[in-house]
Amino acid sequence: MSVQSEKEQIKFPELPLITEDLLSKAQASAACQTAEYTLAERKELLDKIKKLLKQQDAVLVAHYYTSDDLQQLAEESGGYVADSLEMARFGHDHPASTLIVAGVRFMGETAKILNPEKRVLMPDIEATCSLDLECPADLFTDFCDAHPEYTSVVYANTSAAVKARADWVVTSGIALPIIKHLAERNEKVLWAPDRHLGSYVQRETGVDMLIWPGSCVIHEQFKADGIRNLKKEYPKAQVLVHPESPAEVVDLADVVGSTTGLIKASLNPEVNEFIVATEPGIFYKMKQASPGKIFLEAPSGGLGGTCESCLRCPWMAMNGLRNLAEVLETGANEITIEEDIRVKALVPIQRMLDFAREQQIVVKDKGNA
- Say if residue 193 is exposed, middle or buried (CB neighbours under 10 Å; 0-12, 13-18, 19+): buried
Determine, following the binding rule CB under 6 A, whether residue 130 of this chain makes contact with ligand SF4: yes
**Is residue 315 close enough to count as binding ligand SF4 by CB under 6 A?**
yes
CB of 334 to ligand SF4, least distance (A): 20
Residue 335 CB, nearest distance to ligand SF4 (Å)? 16
Question: Which residue's Cβ lies closest to ligand SF4?
Answer: 129
Q: Minimum CB separation from ligand SF4 for residue 136, in Å?
A: 15
**Rounded least distance, CB 185 to ligand SF4, Å:** 29
Question: In the bound complex, what is the minimum distance in angstroms from residue 101's beta carbon to ligand SF4?
Answer: 13
The single residue among 129, 169, 211, 286 that binds ligand SF4, judged by CB under 6 A, is 129
Q: How far is the CB of 316 from ligand SF4 (least distance, A)?
A: 6
- 63 vs 119, beta carbon nearer ligand SF4: 63
The one segment of 76-84, 128-136, 229-237, 260-268 that binds ligand SF4 by CB under 6 A? 128-136
Helices (H), the chain: 3-9, 20-34, 39-55, 68-76, 84-93, 105-114, 130-133, 137-146, 160-165, 175-184, 195-205, 224-233, 247-250, 259-265, 283-289, 321-330, 339-358, 363-366
C-beta of 161 vs 316, nearer to ligand SF4: 316
Note the Cα 272 to chain centre separation in Å: 26
Q: Is 170 in the site for ligand SF4 (CB under 6 A)?
A: no
Amino acid at position 334, single letter: E
* Cis check: omega of the bond before 193, within 30 degrees of 0: yes
> Should residue 316 be labelled a site residue for ligand SF4 when binding is judged by CB under 6 A?
yes
| Binding of ligand SF4 by 217 (CB under 6 A) | yes
Least separation in angstroms between residue 9's CB and ligand SF4 is 30
Check: CB of residue 162 under 8 Å from CB of residue 145: no
AA letter at 64: Y
Taking Cα atoms as reference points, which of 175, 332, 76, 71 lies closest to residue 87? 71
Q: Which is nearer to ligand SF4, 182 or 276 (CB)?
A: 276
Task: Single out the residue of 285, 263, 267, 287 nearest to residue 368, CA to CA.
Answer: 263
Taking the complex as a whole, how short is the minimal distance between the CB of residue 131 and ligand SF4, in angstroms? 5
Query: What is residue 239's three-state secondary structure?
Result: strand
Q: Out of 279, 282, 283, 328, name the contact with ligand SF4 by CB under 6 A.
A: 279
Which residue lies nearer to ligand SF4 by CB, 64 or 143?
Answer: 64
For residue 22, the tally of other CB atoms under 10 A from its CB is 17
Rg over alpha carbons for the chain, rounded to the nearest Å, is 20
Q: Nearer to ligand SF4 by C-beta: 65 or 168?
A: 65
What is the contact mask toward ligand SF4 in residues 328 to 347, using x (rule: CB under 6 A)?
A: --------------------
Chain CA centroid to CA 43, Å? 29
Of the CA atoms within 13 Å of residue 116, those in its CB half-sphere come to 12
Residue 104 interacts with ligand SF4 (CB under 6 A): yes or no:
yes
- How many CA atoms, within 13 angstroms, populate the side-chain half-sphere of residue 71? 20
Among 313, 317, 349, 363, binds ligand SF4 (CB under 6 A): 313
216 binds ligand SF4 (CB under 6 A): yes
The rounded Cα 283 to chain-centroid distance in angstroms is: 15
Q: Which residues bind ligand SF4 (CB under 6 A)?
A: 65, 104, 129-131, 157, 216-218, 279, 313, 315-316, 369
